[in-house]
Amino acid sequence: MNPCTGLCRPLPRLSATPPDFIALPSYGLGVFSLHVCRELNTYMTTGYMYHESFGWHDTGSFVGDMPSDITIGLQPYHNWEHVDTKRRIHELIVVSGLINHLKRIEPRDATEEELRLVHTQRHIDFIKSQSELRHGGDAGDWTTPFGKGGYGIFIKSVGGILEMVDAVFRGEIKNGYALSRPPGHHARPDQGMGYCVFNHGSIAVKYAQKTYGVKRVLVVDWDVHWGNGTQEVFFEDNSVVTISIHQDRLYPKVGGMVDEVGSGTNINVPLSAGGGNEAYLKTIDDVVIPAIERFKPEIIFVASGFDSCVFDPLGRMAVTAKGYREMTRKLMQAADTYCEGRLVMHHEGGYSAHYSPICGQAVLQELSGVFLLDDPFDEANGYPNQKLNPINAAEILESQKLLKNLPT
């Protein structure tokens, strides 16, 4: 049964209302709110994947990214990559009522064969062995801890994204957001790093190619950190365009530069610290959309990290919920034009427990066309660094020059 039936009425064309949308009244969060949704024939075509076990991924009592140590004054606290930064996104989606307008994708466990699409058997076996230790282990760089039994969480997170890919190609959903944990874009084929154990986004790309015969894929990464693992996996693969928009040399500190082009399909956009919405939207307009137009992918993946947001403790960029929403809208329009709307987002970083939920809600509202909540921190849209600065403009121009390398 369509939940809009009998409740919807046409809305007048207002500047604040997306065109050709309809509205239905409901009661949410204890007060009357106005739900705005897309036309009936596209209603509830957005998938959403999350599992409560993701919140059980135990990153320990680290102090940020360092283990507690009384000898140097590091008091036990919690890792930057802790449960609240993801769990609170899910809770807001539920409490706001947005969950009722999304198609839940039930995750499954990824198989070892699927993990081997990207990772070595040595790495898989290492993670399994670390997972069996009484106190858990580390993914290989001594800053990516996890608890006993973590392997089961990791393969469910990967499998959930693969289920979303299946749902897209079966025509059950048009787009989707996988609220996966832990993140994945730093994980290399033979080693985890930077909180990432398995590179779930890259596995999903390879899975789409193997299972559905996809010939061309485009990956956009707006996490504040360089997507080094994704770049490594596809560096010499001209069937996949990878575009990483990141704060220049934040993490990893070596690499992520414009001259790293691989087979010609890798584009890095390293931005100096401080860039806000206009810098990111210009990157989308001048680099990402032209890349999509030239390459014409069959599906678009987005490594969605909210650590490029204005309130993140690890990054020094200034994107707001409005910026993420507008980037999502532009990518949806491009996906509609070139790949039948196929757009899969998978969660990466984002370490502001109070603002990541607002950003996640904004993106999923745009994906689904159901608008329930505004950004309560929208004063950040007026910060001076939201304007494009000349340093970022010059950096974007350098990356734009790489478009000529892309195959047509």
Q: Which residue numbers are catalytic?
A: 186
φ and ψ at residue 288, rounded to 5 degrees? -70, -50
- Residue whose pair of structure tokens reads 């990518």 in the numeric block: 331
| 323-341 as b/e: b if 16+ CB within 10 A | bbbbbbebbbebbeebbeb
Pairing of strands 9-10, 22-28: antiparallel
Q: Which residues contact 222 (CB under 8 A, 6 or more apart)?
A: 245, 280, 302, 303, 304, 305, 308, 319, 324, 327
Q: What angle do CA 357, 45, 347 make, to 5 degrees?
A: 35
Give the integer Cα–Cα distance in Å for 78 and 393. Answer: 37
Q: Which residues contact 273 (CB under 8 A, 6 or more apart)?
A: 247, 248, 250, 316, 317
- Residue whose pair of structure tokens reads 């507008």 in the numeric block: 326
| Under 8 Å between Cβ of 214 and 221 | no
Give the integer Cα–Cα distance in Å for 157 and 192. Answer: 15
What type of residue sits at position 301? Answer: F
Pairing of strands 217-221, 240-247: parallel
Helices and strands per DSSP (H, E), number in the chain: 11, 13
Pairing of strands 217-221, 266-271: unpaired
φ and ψ at residue 146, rounded to 5 degrees? -155, 160
CA distances from 211 to 117, 165, 202, 205, 230 (A): 12, 10, 14, 10, 20
DSSP 255-309: ---TT--TTTTEEEEEE-TT-BHHHHHHHIIIIIHHHHHHH--SEEEEEE-GGGB
Give the integer Cα–Cα distance in Å for 276 and 360. Answer: 17
CA distances from 325 to 136, 276, 307, 360 (A): 38, 13, 15, 9
